Structure 1
């Protein structure tokens, strides 16, 4: 096993096994201590206009994909899950994480991966005669225990090894899941005849065009500032609302479109009791649920932490500390509760979580300091409105959607609109993904690429091989989810971390990895996990644990190279030694 050189707070370097001396509960306690002083400001700082569009956008971006996933599970689990189950799961996640989490910017809800997991388990165990909800309950209860063990043993310290490499592959996978689900929804529309299918395709494409175009115009130089901000903030929600009623115009109202299967307010879709009688199951099936629980725990450990990392990425100048250990503990609690009530377990959402942070960014205009763009003005993020209220409000809006009148409204939303929203979110996630940007770099005429571009400073073959490895990782993960073995896809996803940490430093030079990959979040955000890591001389992995003042200039910290960070930590250690002497 590779050794790790750890720089501990007192400046003393030790070379030790990664699992040496586990301080039980330390991570959770430190997370709470770091975040608690900011708890009141998490509400007072919400007195900002950016909270309004962030709440509206997150409500639509969370609820409609969740409803579409509920439709997917309804079709593939014999009607076991429906709208109310997915809505209540999203409400539970948003309430718990907005009020109690150390990372309230991370949006929690029903995801594509958990949808795949749930109906794959259904396909495996129902032919055996095993009751589905009771079995899923035991999976969630075992997983809750495993989440607690991960939290108290500080297992989230390993999140610092998750770089953009792993995040980009997983984000690319989730984006394709969204696009795939949109296509699958449109395939179902042929049950209503060709006219229904063609109109559904047209509506979904119109939602895509209008929603995506609104985002482009919001980032452009067209129109005045107020109009651009309005288009960026409300373009997609308004497109969803307009095209929900579009089918009732003119001759189109004679065409019947597929809608959501809606139940009564606050009732389960199959008409069962809310509380699952988990004790009414064979003893052997209780223990059979353990390996499934391991897979679910691996999925949530990776998925939720990656969602939190991307939502607190280096592009966002955050000033409030993160807390990965405490949030994994909370995720275990919500998973167990969902099992008891027969709900799909929620966890961190991609791409909604980073979209949430982006919607809370306050920007300003500055002169471009690049010599090639001299005289031009660029938009930079000045600060992020870090608070809990937007997450809380979108959860309360989702709870209100479970009432009778709003369920009746949802009953008239065509499935084609949801397919269009899937296309919008999937395409937006792809455009900003690191894999996509590297593919565009390889396809672009190098003469039109800025000389200062980081990838132009390394061998082009290294870029090709790095992208090929990413595509293999994505392809393997996506392929297995199309088979009955989909329940094991969390293992493929989790394997990305050791591949990046142990193998890729052997295949690429340090300067190549420096240009091709980077830490997902800043050292300040990763302080909860012991700091960042990077490859230095002698290929030694260095973990940096140090305290940063949240009032410091985050932009400067984000620009600090890993080598500079190592020097700064060693200098701080020397200063402490001199002070103690």
Structure 2
């Protein structure tokens, strides 16, 4: 489940990956490696979510030049195997570097992982909606779901997500953590139950695979076309009446 969840996040459409997802192939080789690692007494091998997202972010390509005040345009990801090979080579060599690595304080390592986790939260819709809870309406950003979904419905959806996250966190911290994967699977039933609480219109904006910025861009382009078409029709009517 860790492998599949990480693969889904990494292969989101907004990352513009070109080499394909390969979910089944990845899971097949992970299963083979788990069998080998089990026989050899080695740790199991799966994709780590935070590290994988940080890896993708480090390989993103953006335009070098842009107008003042304009955000650089995202071009895609440098898809290669060099960084992955070097990461695992260094991981293997770290076994022989134990006498040196033991001098690194644990708070330093915790700080690195904390920074990576916080940095990966940027752009996550859940975090944006949490900020909306304490943000006055006049200061709220122009988000696509704020245009189409009432705020009380947005806050209700955020509350349900936060409640599920809190329950998983508590469960993970107790002796019942062994059933954590089963609880992750139970979230499928929670999501299905939301179909009876929210309309499909609301869920299409609050829980959609299409990135929020892409939907907003398409809607803005559609509005511009309709506005341009309306102005042309008005000019034609004016000429005709004249």
After TM superposition, the score normalised by the length of structure 2 is: 0.80
Q: Is 1:326 paired with 2:25? A: yes
Where does 1:411-560 land on structure 2 (aligned, <5 Å)?
411-451=102-142, 453-500=144-191, 502-519=192-209
Given that 2:56 and 2:77 are in contact with CA atoms closer than 8 Å, whether structure 1 keeps it comes out as: yes
CA deviations 1:37-81 (Å, max 9, x no partner) are xxxxxxxxxxxxxxxxxxxxxxxxxxxxxxxxxxxxxxxxxxxxx
Given that 1:317 and 1:381 are in contact with CA atoms closer than 8 Å, whether structure 2 keeps it comes out as: no
CA deviations 1:285-324 (Å, max 9, x no partner) are xxxxxxxxxxxxxxxxx22111111112222121221111
Given that 2:54 and 2:116 are in contact with CA atoms closer than 8 Å, whether structure 1 keeps it comes out as: no
CA deviations 1:393-434 (Å, max 9, x no partner) are 11111112222xx22211211112112213212322344433
Aligned residues: 216
The answer for unaligned runs of 5 or more in structure 1 is 1-301, 368-374, 522-554, 562-581
Deviation at 1:452, TM superposition (A): 5.3
How far apart are the structure 2 equivalents of 1:429 and 1:511? 28
From the two aligned structures, give the one with the greater helix fraction. 2
Cα separation, partners in 2 of 1:477 and 1:514, compared to 1, 3 Å: same
RMSD: 2.5
Cα separation, partners in 2 of 1:520 and 1:487, compared to 1, 3 Å: farther
Deviation at 1:556, TM superposition (A): 8.4
Where does 1:206-221 land on structure 2 (aligned, <5 Å)?
none
CA deviations 1:368-391 (Å, max 9, x no partner) are xxxxxxx74112211211112211
Cα separation, partners in 2 of 1:437 and 1:450, compared to 1, 3 Å: closer
Q: Is 1:382 paired with 2:72? A: no
CA deviations 1:161-198 (Å, max 9, x no partner) are xxxxxxxxxxxxxxxxxxxxxxxxxxxxxxxxxxxxxx
Where does 1:292-331 land on structure 2 (aligned, <5 Å)?
302-331=1-30
How far apart are the structure 2 equivalents of 1:556 and 1:424? 27
How far apart are the structure 2 equivalents of 1:446 and 1:380? 29
How far apart are the structure 2 equivalents of 1:520 and 1:491? 27
| 3-state SS of paired residue (2:38) | helix
After TM superposition, the score normalised by the length of structure 1 is: 0.35
Q: Which has the higher contact order (CA 8 A, sep 6+)?
A: 1
Given that 1:334 and 1:346 are in contact with CA atoms closer than 8 Å, whether structure 2 keeps it comes out as: yes
